[in-house]
């Protein structure tokens, strides 16, 4: 029998869930000792569980997705009508929402010319990798196919995406990995891999890309893939000099730039896209979470017109086109929800709000850092912030995963949901994440910051 959240008892839902659902990122023996929270309703930034307890969600649905907040009837109405008119068509057939959304999206991305639809961030990245590999074959013998990724970046859960992911615990035990991927240094100044200090360094982290290209052989490297601001790896905005150096190196060696905007895309950082804070011209841009704000499953691989044209060349080779399909890239719910998402971002001036509220949030967190020695570093851009916890500021000894979890747990108990590094590294699961919906006001941000204040006091007993 079907259980409905509104009619079934909470205990029945929990029992059924425990007996049937295998949850994401969950150690089930530990998890089953406690009862899961069953979320049943959301309005704006507030969600309620079936017991009627209310929470302020500073995570945008757990993983930085519901950027516009919950309960947007306008999106639901548009999707409903579209599903009645035409729910789906794929392949080389066209649909009105697909065309309209692609055009509107591209208007926010000067220099880019084509949109390829799929249904998850991992998938969008895999499309980008396949384009790079096929280009190597169409323009040569396939040698220039390698993709360089960055330590501490995450690009997804499928084997190709995982093969380009620099989170040691996320990738452990899932090998063997796909060949043709190789890594270079992360750019976290707080834990500089070169032991330097920003201001007196030579941006060695960006120059390490050249070392990686030379190590692999420039003739074999097709692209570099980067998050504009590393998300799950600890919220790491690069220094301002970073991307121009990356761009220059890529130009020199004929390496394409693939920017993974799965988290940062569509306003999260206070620009339409994270890369637009920096001086860089990507060849491929992937996006997912914010595209439809969690109201539909849609992802996009956006490319330059020049890259697209390479796949158009009719030079007699029957393989000369992108032989790829995403079944659910044909769902019209995605582009329709995307059209509404773009309209809401504009009409409610949410990108400006993200900048303003992001600045306010950072100020509050810097003040909190004065009070709590355990806050080692605060970093971020727009409404995407990481708070790194250390038990000793001088040695930067990371707080444990358990301590970091206890702070998040304390906030949850007191009605505020915050995020944290989730088993990505062996010794650096010590960062709290804040990614409130882009509609947030100071009132909610104050509530979030005071919950963290109380959580830190309780766990670290200062
Ligand atoms: N890239 C980045 C930067 C991500 O954070 C994620 C997901 N958290 C992905 C790709 C993968 O997206 P998905 O889970 O939709 O496959």
Segment 268-310, tens digit of pLDDT: 999 999 999 999 999 999 999 999 999 999 999 999 999 999 9
Regarding whether 117 and 62 lie in a shared domain, the answer is no
122 lines ligand 1 (CB under 6 A): yes
* Shortest-distance Cα residue to atom 6 of ligand 1: 156
Say how many Å lie between the CA of residue 123 and the centre of ligand 1. 9
Regarding whether 330 and 220 lie in a shared domain, the answer is yes
As to burial, measured by CB atoms within 10 angstroms (0-12 exposed, 13-18 middle, 19+ buried), residue 94 is exposed
User: What does the alpha-carbon distance between residue 364 and residue 368 come to, in Å, rounded to a whole number?
Assistant: 6
CATH of the domain at 402: 3.90.1150.10
Query: What confidence score (pLDDT) does residue 3 get?
Result: 45
Output the six-digit token pair for 251.
């130009």
Domain of residue 205 covers: 74-347
Regarding whether 257 and 113 lie in a shared domain, the answer is yes
pLDDT class for 4, splitting at 50, 70, 90? low
Contacts 24+ apart (CB under 8 A), 304-308: 304/111, 304/112, 304/113, 304/114, 305/112, 305/113, 305/114, 306/113, 307/114, 307/131, 307/135, 307/256, 307/283, 308/113, 308/114
**Residues 326, 320: contact at Cβ < 8 Å?**
no
What's the pTM value of the predicted model, to 2 decimals? Answer: 0.97
231 lines ligand 1 (CB under 6 A): yes
Regarding whether 374 and 343 lie in a shared domain, the answer is no
Say how many Å lie between the CA of residue 262 and the centre of ligand 1. 6
DSSP 238: P
Full DSSP string of 418-436: -EE--S-SSS---EEEE--
Regarding whether 383 and 326 lie in a shared domain, the answer is no
> Which atom of ligand 1 is least distant from the CA of 122?
16
124 lines ligand 1 (CB under 6 A): no
Residue 386 in any domain: the answer is yes
227 lines ligand 1 (CB under 6 A): yes
Q: How many CB atoms lie within 10 A of CB 306?
A: 11
> Pick from 329, 347, 365: which residue ends a domain?
347
| Residue 6 reports pLDDT greater than 80 | no
Residue 23 in any domain: the answer is no
User: What does the alpha-carbon distance between residue 409 and residue 416 come to, in Å, rounded to a whole number?
Assistant: 9
Q: Tell me the mean pLDDT in the region 64-85.
A: 98
Mutating to test ligand 1, I would choose from 288, 298, 301, 328 the residue with most ligand atoms within 8 A of its C-beta, which is 288
- ipTM score above 0.85: yes
Regarding whether 230 and 85 lie in a shared domain, the answer is yes
> Which atom of ligand 1 is least distant from the CA of 120?
15
Q: Cα 267 vs. chain centroid, distance in angstroms?
A: 12
Regarding whether 88 and 62 lie in a shared domain, the answer is no
Regarding whether 214 and 298 lie in a shared domain, the answer is yes
Say how many Å lie between the CA of residue 280 and the centre of ligand 1. 22
Residue 7 in any domain: the answer is no
Residue 24 in any domain: the answer is no
Tokens 């013998």 belong to 141
- Segment 35-52, tens digit of pLDDT: 889 999 999 999 999 889
Q: How many CB atoms lie within 10 A of CB 279?
A: 13
Query: What confidence score (pLDDT) does residue 9 get?
Result: 65
> Pick from 282, 312, 347: which residue ends a domain?
347
Regarding whether 339 and 424 lie in a shared domain, the answer is no
| Residue 316 reports pLDDT greater than 90 | no
CATH of the domain at 237: 3.40.640.10
Regarding whether 360 and 223 lie in a shared domain, the answer is no
Q: How far is CA 185 from CA 65, 179, 203, 378, in A?
A: 27, 19, 11, 21
Q: Tell me the mean pLDDT in the region 103-132.
A: 98
Query: What confidence score (pLDDT) does residue 392 get?
Result: 97
pLDDT class for 342, splitting at 50, 70, 90? very high
262 lines ligand 1 (CB under 6 A): yes
Regarding whether 366 and 270 lie in a shared domain, the answer is no
261 lines ligand 1 (CB under 6 A): no
| Residue 251 reports pLDDT greater than 50 | yes
Q: How many CB atoms lie within 10 A of CB 348?
A: 13
Q: How many CB atoms lie within 10 A of CB 26?
A: 13
Regarding whether 248 and 165 lie in a shared domain, the answer is yes
Say how many Å lie between the CA of residue 392 and the centre of ligand 1. 32
Residue 179 in any domain: the answer is yes
pLDDT class for 462, splitting at 50, 70, 90? low
Residue 47 in any domain: the answer is yes
Number of structural domains in the chain: 2
Averaged pLDDT score across all residues of the chain: 95
- Segment 202-232, tens digit of pLDDT: 999 999 999 999 999 999 999 999 999 999 9
> Pick from 296, 326, 347: which residue ends a domain?
347
User: What does the alpha-carbon distance between residue 112 and residue 434 come to, in Å, rounded to a whole number?
Assistant: 30
């Amino acid at each position: 029998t079907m259980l409905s959240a509104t009619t079934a008892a909470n205990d029945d839902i929990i029992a059924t869930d425990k007996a049937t659902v295998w949850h994401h990122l969950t150690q089930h023996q530990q998890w089953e000792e406690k009862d899961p929270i069953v979320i049943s309703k959301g309005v704006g930034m507030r969600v309620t569980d079936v017991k009627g307890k209310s929470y302020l969600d500073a995570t945008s649905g757990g993983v930085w997705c519901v950027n516009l907040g919950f309960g947007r009837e306008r999106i639901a109405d548009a999707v409903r009508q579209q599903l009645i008119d035409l729910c789906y068509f794929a392949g080389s057939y066209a649909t009105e929402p697909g065309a309209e959304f692609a055009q509107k999206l591209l208007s926010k991305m000067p220099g880019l010319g084509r949109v390829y639809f799929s249904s998850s961030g991992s998938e969008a990245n895999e499309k980008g990798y396949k384009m790079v590999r096929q280009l190597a074959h169409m323009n040569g013998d396939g040698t220039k196919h390698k993709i360089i990724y960055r330590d501490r970046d995450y690009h997804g859960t499928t084997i190709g995406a995982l093969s380009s992911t620099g989170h040691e615990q996320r990738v452990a035990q899932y090998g063997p990995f796909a060949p043709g991927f190789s890594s270079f240094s992360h750019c976290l100044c707080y834990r500089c891999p070169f032991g330097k200090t920003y201001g007196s360094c030579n941006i060695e982290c960006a120059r390490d890309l050249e070392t990686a290209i030379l190590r692999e052989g420039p003739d074999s490297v097709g692209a570099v893939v980067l998050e504009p601001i590393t998300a799950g790896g600890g919220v790491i905005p690069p220094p301002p000099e970073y991307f121009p150096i990356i761009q220059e190196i890529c130009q020199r060696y004929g390496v394409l730039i693939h920017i993974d905007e799965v988290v940062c895309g569509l306003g999260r950082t206070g620009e339409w896209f994270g890369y637009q804070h920096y001086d860089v011209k990507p060849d491929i841009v992937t996006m997912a979470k914010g595209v439809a704000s969690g109201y539909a499953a849609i992802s996009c691989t956006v490319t330059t017109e020049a890259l697209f044209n390479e796949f158009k060349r009719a030079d007699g080779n029957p393989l000369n086109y992108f032989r790829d399909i995403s079944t659910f890239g044909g769902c019209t719910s995605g582009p329709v929800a995307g059209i509404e998402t773009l309209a809401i971002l504009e009409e409610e001036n949410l990108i400006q709000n993200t900048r303003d509220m992001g600045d306010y949030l950072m100020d509050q967190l810097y003040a909190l850092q004065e009070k709590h020695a355990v806050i080692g570093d605060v970093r971020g851009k727009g409404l995407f912030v990481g708070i790194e916890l250390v038990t000793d500021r001088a040695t930067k000894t990371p707080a444990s995963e358990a301590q970091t979890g206890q702070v998040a747990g304390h906030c949850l108990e007191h009605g505020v949901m915050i995020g944290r590094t989730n088993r990505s590294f062996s010794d650096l699961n010590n960062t709290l994440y804040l990614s409130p919906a882009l509609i947030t006001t100071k009132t909610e941000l104050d509530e979030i910051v005071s919950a963290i204040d109380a959580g830190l006091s309780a766990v670290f007993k200062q």
